[in-house]
Structure 1
């Protein structure tokens, strides 16, 4: 009889679980629909247009034109280089800031977090033009250099100006994941390690840094992908002298009106960036013993 009771309970439990799964699917349906409408459909259109001529015929010439031209391969390399340097700059500036926030009181953390997020409340165009004033020939940076008796270098319309502007724009996207990762570290680990004779740097390299790897990975992926596809800040601070992929997508679509070739350039950037991010994620997870994401 007990066995029959257990057999009878099985279908009841399965039937009870089915409405829950159905409810979960219904709750997720609006998000899935928005994702499909705003991301999947435009990406599919982009891919489809990249294999067409301006007359609508199927072709592979757009990709052959891009991959066969050393100039455009150099533009792709420069885009990835700027994105990598921006990511490294955000990590170098953001990690100490996140460590400092970790030990502060809630009130101080709130004020510093507001200061960190305040640039995101301002238009990206306004921020870029603000850096034009700061880095301009008559700006404060050039004035200080001239006051020291030195000749001010060219601070605008080069990779340096783009890197400074992009680090300012992307810093919050690096610090916020780092703060979340550092807050999840058990606060008793470092005192316990020091009690066993470990020094401050040993605790940092063996405990804090490895356990904050998820935040570094998340922040690096966000900053790298956003920088590689950024257009406004590089266009204003770098101008036509700084060759980046988003700028050429814009010129091909609006100046030469070659939409298929612009779609091919954009899709190449998406594929290369996604491949690098996946490779970076897998390499870091392998190096951390699959501990990065859980």
Structure 2
């Protein structure tokens, strides 16, 4: 009877645990609902209205029926994809180098990687404006070699350079998490069985680090697709991206419903692509096979 009483008492004590968890999570839930869910619902509601407040589907028909805006959407996704690829090409070797260093060196490299995040995005963009400008060091290097400096400002190239610089840390950090979880004895064991260094990388390191690559790609792609400051400064009006048109429709033409429709289209398309990434992450229990 005493044992039964203890069991019953334990059940009574464990029963309200979900309430405790809910109370602990409640502040975060409220903040999330107030700062994300409510504005998103407001955005969706406004996208189905005219400037006089009447219900309409014309905003979406206007966007989807105009080849110009479809090209803007495609260019936005292209820039986001190229930025993601650039961050991966630069960030993966950097993450491998960090993994092989001592903790002291890794801390210094992590500080170097994260230091740009401590600076305002506007200042970083204007810094690249100076570097890539006609009187900057890049143009001076071309002139010193007797070459004509290429046009590096107000085009997709400038935007890609600036966005890779801004987003690099968001790629490297997930990669470091995946690389650190790889058993350090796997590669020596494979080499002991006759595998080359390239085979070890292709068959062991790369597949086991794929979750970090895909997670970093999701973060970089979504942040780049919705970025406004860096593309606006380095690309100017010549680089047509969705966030820029949301801004101009809301502040210049004061067409808030159409701006909401453009923004919601970007949210839907980006979310759909991220769901595709999630399917890759879940395939094979998080493992991706190369070759």
**Partners of 2:281 and 2:178 in 1: CA distance:** 16
Displacement after TM superposition at 1:153 (Å):
1.1
Q: Secondary structure at the match of 2:56?
A: coil
> Residues 292 and 162 of structure 1: is their aligned pair in 2 closer, same or farther, counting only changes over 3 Å?
same
Displacement after TM superposition at 1:5 (Å):
8.4
> Residues 196 and 251 of structure 1: is their aligned pair in 2 closer, same or farther, counting only changes over 3 Å?
same
| Uncovered stretches (5+) of structure 1, i.e. residues with no partner | none
Q: Are 2:211 and 2:281, in contact at CA under 8 Å, matched by a contact in 1?
A: no
Alignment match, 1:168? 165
> Residues 267 and 6 of structure 1: is their aligned pair in 2 closer, same or farther, counting only changes over 3 Å?
same
Per-residue deviation, residues 146-183 of structure 1 (Å, max 9, x unmatched):
11111111110000000000000000000011111111
Q: Are 1:285 and 1:291, in contact at CA under 8 Å, matched by a contact in 2?
A: no
> Residues 135 and 17 of structure 1: is their aligned pair in 2 closer, same or farther, counting only changes over 3 Å?
same
| Uncovered stretches (5+) of structure 2, i.e. residues with no partner | none
Alignment match, 2:227? 230
Q: Are 1:214 and 1:292, in contact at CA under 8 Å, matched by a contact in 2?
A: no
Q: Secondary structure at the match of 1:59?
A: coil
Q: Are 2:203 and 2:290, in contact at CA under 8 Å, matched by a contact in 1?
A: no
1:1-294 correspondence runs (5 A)? 15-286=12-283
> Residues 165 and 289 of structure 1: is their aligned pair in 2 closer, same or farther, counting only changes over 3 Å?
closer
TM-score (norm 1): 0.93
**Partners of 1:37 and 1:77 in 2: CA distance:** 31
**Partners of 2:251 and 2:111 in 1: CA distance:** 38
> Residues 171 and 7 of structure 1: is their aligned pair in 2 closer, same or farther, counting only changes over 3 Å?
closer
Displacement after TM superposition at 1:16 (Å):
2.7
Moved more, 86-95 or 191-200: 191-200
**Partners of 1:21 and 1:150 in 2: CA distance:** 69
Displacement after TM superposition at 1:285 (Å):
3.3
Q: Are 1:84 and 1:224, in contact at CA under 8 Å, matched by a contact in 2?
A: yes
TM-score (norm 2): 0.94
Q: Secondary structure at the match of 1:287?
A: coil
Q: Are 2:125 and 2:234, in contact at CA under 8 Å, matched by a contact in 1?
A: yes
Q: Secondary structure at the match of 1:146?
A: helix
Q: Cα RMSD between the aligned structures?
A: 2.6
**Partners of 1:287 and 1:85 in 2: CA distance:** 26
**Partners of 2:34 and 2:9 in 1: CA distance:** 42
Q: Are 2:59 and 2:261, in contact at CA under 8 Å, matched by a contact in 1?
A: yes
**Partners of 2:284 and 2:134 in 1: CA distance:** 46
**Partners of 2:260 and 2:133 in 1: CA distance:** 35
Displacement after TM superposition at 1:212 (Å):
0.7
Displacement after TM superposition at 1:281 (Å):
2.2
Moved more, 71-80 or 184-193: 184-193
Displacement after TM superposition at 1:287 (Å):
6.2
Per-residue deviation, residues 1-59 of structure 1 (Å, max 9, x unmatched):
9998899689xxxx332222211111111111111011000000000000000011100
> Residues 168 and 254 of structure 1: is their aligned pair in 2 closer, same or farther, counting only changes over 3 Å?
same
**Partners of 2:290 and 2:30 in 1: CA distance:** 27
Q: Secondary structure at the match of 2:32?
A: helix
Moved more, 158-167 or 146-155: 146-155
Q: Are 1:285 and 1:292, in contact at CA under 8 Å, matched by a contact in 2?
A: no
Q: Are 1:177 and 1:215, in contact at CA under 8 Å, matched by a contact in 2?
A: yes
**Aligned pairs, number:** 290
> Residues 29 and 179 of structure 1: is their aligned pair in 2 closer, same or farther, counting only changes over 3 Å?
same
Moved more, 143-152 or 256-265: 143-152
**Partners of 2:49 and 2:160 in 1: CA distance:** 35
